[in-house]
Structure 1
Amino acid sequence: MPRVHVNGIDLFYDIKGAGEPLLLIAGFFCDHTYWSLLMPSLVKQYQVIRLDNRGFGRTSAPDNPYSIQQMATDTAALLERIGIEKVHLAGHSMGGQIAQELALAHPEKVKSLILLSSLAKGDARFNSIIATWGELPANLDLKLYQQVILPWIFTDAFYSIPEMIEMIVNLAINYPFAPTPHGLYHQSRAILGGDTTQRLKDIHCPTLVMVGKQDILTPIKFSKQLAQGIPNAELVVLDSGGHGFLIESPENVASAILKFLCCLPKNGMSLM
């Protein structure tokens, strides 16, 4: 599987499908496969590029501080190395933070922006959760770690299906590219340091902000702040799903993404 050496790390990426490029950036404790349930719908119309962020999966996990801006720079360098000049850009949770920074630093590379279950800056409760999630891997095995974080990710309805939760826990336990405690710690601190609040007004590409109605980790208020701050943003609240709606409601998420993309100006120009 392909890797490129950028910014001092070996960065893993995957490309499938044909058409306009669509880059997908996953969040904390997730690799490129987190988008897998959306892929059958997306690759029918787009060339879909996925990557493993610094600190997780098959990408290097250096033991030094990370930042959201740094991970955006990693992503921009990937696009340059693989010869893709401009993309539709989607990010989930931390991936949405990275996508915002990429759109701000390199507006010429971004045709449109899709922010899923994301935020401009965390509040006190969110920051406390993420700080704890960054510290726990040094003290818990992967099974216990999953049991701590999953209630924040999935809805009551999803949790009522024990075999689904068991499957997700087993996937994490048997994941062949085990995360390092320091990689997760540095990702968590990057999330805590992210803040685009005062710069949202400088994002001028067409933007879709989407959140699950039952998201208790990055609640609707976070997405409302993004949609209100970004000049050309549309807010969509899905009735089904919480923070993990890429797994709980993949068809609905993919449908909303494709609807947004198909309605963009054909030349991909900014609506500004």
Structure 2
Amino acid sequence: MPFASINNEPPLYYELSGKGRPLIMVSGLNGNASFWRAQSQTFSGTQQVIVYDQRGAGQSLMGRGGASIKRMTMDLLGLMDSLDIEVADILGHSLGGAIAQTLALANPDRVKRLVLSSTWSRPDLRFLRLYELRSAYLQAFGAFAYLKTNPLFLYPAWWLRQHPELLDITEQDVSRLMPDQAATLARMKVLSEFEIFESLSSIQSQTLVMGADDDMVTPISMQEELVEYIPDARIKLFSKGGHFHPQVRAEAFNQAVLQFLNSSG
């Protein structure tokens, strides 16, 4: 299994497939490379695709440094350096979109095209209350109860009716889905603290913003704000798909991303 050693920290697990211009996909709060299963095979047909487990998720240990956007961004940059990637397209979902924005601003020469999926530039009061609730629930009732209710926030009701297995969480699933509860709580705190709105106009990368009308976590008002302030950004919204629309609307999502990545200009 491939691991990348970065900045004298515990190594990060990553997966690499395909050939072509590098595309690094950065997942959200769960931090798992497996989030992108519906994308990796499709995108690896035309690009070199890299996915990875973030610190405290999947097969990557948290280490002692704590959680911060700066550390997460340095991990992404370190992974690029470890794989000898000078410039890449970056696709970030939710918290991954926050990491992607930070990288594009701090190291504009390392990001070619930027895809921001269901993410935000600053929290509003509703967003803060949502993560106060999710954090309190996890601390009060534990990882098993949290993981059983998590799909209710992330997927639309019609999708859960078609996929009841997403709600059929067992105790045995906890170690796989949340190996480090403290890391998840720390990452939630990062979600609430991330604010980069004032710098959006400085993003130089060609940018596509994506979202879904029925997203309960990052509603389209957050995506519309990104498009308004990032120079020449494009937007693609789905009428339904929830927060996890890259999975729910995988075929349409993949088509829109590929069209953007392969466009001229």
Q: Same fold (TM over 0.5)?
A: yes
1:242 aligns with 2:245: no
Aligned to 2:146: 145
1:13 aligns with 2:17: no
User: Is the CA contact (8 Å cut-off) linking 2:144 and 2:174 kept in structure 1?
Assistant: no
Aligned to 2:181: 181
Q: Give the Cα separation in 1 of the matches to 2:64 and 2:148.
A: 26
1:112 aligns with 2:89: no
**50-59 or 138-147, which moves further after superposition?**
138-147
User: Is the CA contact (8 Å cut-off) linking 1:67 and 1:191 kept in structure 2?
Assistant: no
Q: Which amino acid aligns with 1:198?
A: E
What SS class does the counterpart of residue 9 from structure 1 fall into? coil
Structure 1 residue 139, shift from structure 2 partner = 3.5
Q: Give the Cα separation in 2 of the matches to 1:47 and 1:120.
A: 28
Aligned residues: 264
Aligned to 1:206: 206
In structure 2, the gaps of 5 or more residues are none
Structure 1 residue 125, shift from structure 2 partner = 1.5
Change (3 A) 1:41 1:239: same
Change (3 A) 1:88 1:139: same
Q: Give the Cα separation in 1 of the matches to 2:143 and 2:68.
A: 24
Q: Give the Cα separation in 1 of the matches to 2:149 and 2:40.
A: 28
What SS class does the counterpart of residue 140 from structure 1 fall into? helix
Aligned to 1:269: none
User: Is the CA contact (8 Å cut-off) linking 2:149 and 2:167 kept in structure 1?
Assistant: no
Structure 1 residue 115, shift from structure 2 partner = 0.2
Q: Which amino acid aligns with 2:198?
A: Q
Q: Which amino acid aligns with 2:102?
A: E
Percent of aligned positions that are identical: 27
Change (3 A) 1:185 1:174: closer
Q: What is the correspondence of 1:69-148 to structure 2 with a 5 Å cutoff?
A: 69-148=70-149
User: Is the CA contact (8 Å cut-off) linking 1:137 and 1:184 kept in structure 2?
Assistant: no
Structure 1 residue 72, shift from structure 2 partner = 0.7
Q: Which consecutive aligned stretches of 4+ in structure 1 deviate over 4 angstroms post-superposition?
A: none
Q: Give the Cα separation in 2 of the matches to 1:141 and 1:161.
A: 27
Q: Give the Cα separation in 2 of the matches to 1:148 and 1:110.
A: 36
In structure 1, the gaps of 5 or more residues are 266-272
Change (3 A) 1:160 1:176: closer
CA RMSD of aligned residues (A): 1.9
User: Is the CA contact (8 Å cut-off) linking 1:63 and 1:182 kept in structure 2?
Assistant: no
**201-210 or 29-38, which moves further after superposition?**
29-38
Q: Give the Cα separation in 1 of the matches to 2:171 and 2:34.
A: 11
Q: Which amino acid aligns with 1:131?
A: E
Structure 1 residue 141, shift from structure 2 partner = 4.1
Structure 1 residue 254, shift from structure 2 partner = 0.4
What SS class does the counterpart of residue 237 from structure 1 fall into? strand
Q: Give the Cα separation in 1 of the matches to 2:103 and 2:144.
A: 34
Q: Give the Cα separation in 2 of the matches to 1:22 and 1:48.
A: 5
Aligned to 1:257: 257
Aligned to 2:220: 220
Aligned to 1:62: 63
User: Is the CA contact (8 Å cut-off) linking 2:5 and 2:82 kept in structure 1?
Assistant: no
Q: Give the Cα separation in 2 of the matches to 1:140 and 1:10.
A: 31
TM-score by length of 1: 0.91
Structure 1 residue 178, shift from structure 2 partner = 4.1
Structure 1 residue 174, shift from structure 2 partner = 5.7
Q: Give the Cα separation in 1 of the matches to 2:171 and 2:235.
A: 32
Structure 1 residue 69, shift from structure 2 partner = 2.0
